[in-house]
Amino acid sequence: MRVILLAVVYIPFIMAVERVPLIRFKSIKKQLKEKGELEEFWRNHHPDVFARRYLHCFPADIALSVGTAAERLYDYMNAQYYGVVSVGTPPQRFTVVFDTGSSNFWVPSAYCISEACRVHQKFKSFKSDSYEHGGEAFSLQYGSGQLLGIAGKDTLQISNISIKGQDFGESVFEPGATFVLAHFDGILGLGYPSLAVANALPVFDSIMNQNLIEEPIFSFYLKRGDDTENGGELILGGIDHSLYKGSIHWVPVTEKSYWQIHMNNIKIQGRVAFCSHGCEAIVDSGTSLIAGPSSQIRRLQGYIGASPSNTGENILNWKGPTRIIKSNSWANGLYRDQNYNHGVISITMF
């Protein structure tokens, strides 16, 4: 299966299209499952347990709230694609997940004290001639892990695009095992500015503001199969029309934070089973999951004959390629609308 995901923002540009190769890797969740360690991981990383264990590590004004830690919708336990970027002058290389489900860009700091940072590339601000110290502390909370960092600015290089003064975070504390197991160093968010913390301007907004691409579009080509080194590509500034078949259909963005769209309904074997009066969904390149409200997901699992496992998941013995689930208005498109721009996300699967 090949998947095309694209986002468009309408502003006239005159520069080039840039391609960022993506590498496909085995997700953290799959690694843990194969080792028989997933159940223990979930016990140790439940939001309440996690907050109690690491509460003392965070400053009081940004500490985790015990018992009320909200899980964000994006979860890098299931991320499967990353690419390479560089930060600083001279450039320092990092692998990142390009994530439409968040808006901040961060990489590990040379001053990080966590195990996760020890096993990943770390940014050395003292070796960059273009680094600007921001000084503001921030905390990012994910479904399966939290981190603490310091804000700064520096030159970001993506393919042949050089972004001056890009806001980014240097993580100094990454508790838990989530990022220890990750194949990637950091996260590069492609969501709306309203989703960003520490008043950071997202990377793609900086690219648009600096007129660095031919068209205000970014698109993903995600490949499946055994060729992990050639996992696809992120295209900045255009669309490769040879990578998909048929037409692109556009669906309006309903809230300017995530790439959020409206779904008309969800059908199973031709009948509406969920979302009968319409519901909201987000298009998230940072995860491989289809997520939803717990009660409805349990009903869905019952419909398709999935059985609960001791890891908290439900397992389906798949015996063929039969397609039984259809979500109207989910398959193609997302439209971005802001005071200064418009945009679109489209997904085509074949």
| DSSP structure string for 56-100 | GGS-GGGPPPTTT-PPPS--GGG--EEEEEEETTTTEEEEEEEET
- d(CA 166, CA 225) in angstroms, rounded, equals 35
**Cα end-to-end distance, the chain, whole Å:** 6
Which residues 6+ apart lie within 8 Å of 93 measured at CB?
84, 85, 86, 121
Candidates 75, 167, 185, 284; catalytic one? 284
- Report the Cα 15 to chain-centroid distance in Å: 26
**Which residue has tokens 């991981």?**
41
Q: Is 284 a catalytic residue?
A: yes
Residue length, the chain?
Answer: 350
**Which residue has tokens 């590509």?**
233
- d(CA 292, CA 284) in angstroms, rounded, equals 13
Characterize the bridge pairing of strands 265-268 and 232-236. Answer: unpaired
Residue 60 one-letter amino acid: A
- Report the Cα 237 to chain-centroid distance in Å: 19
Candidates 99, 167, 185, 205; catalytic one? 99
Other Cβ atoms closer than 10 A to 184: 24
Report the alpha-carbon angle 94-153-83, nearest 5. 20
Q: Any idea which residues carry the catalytic annotation? A: 99, 284
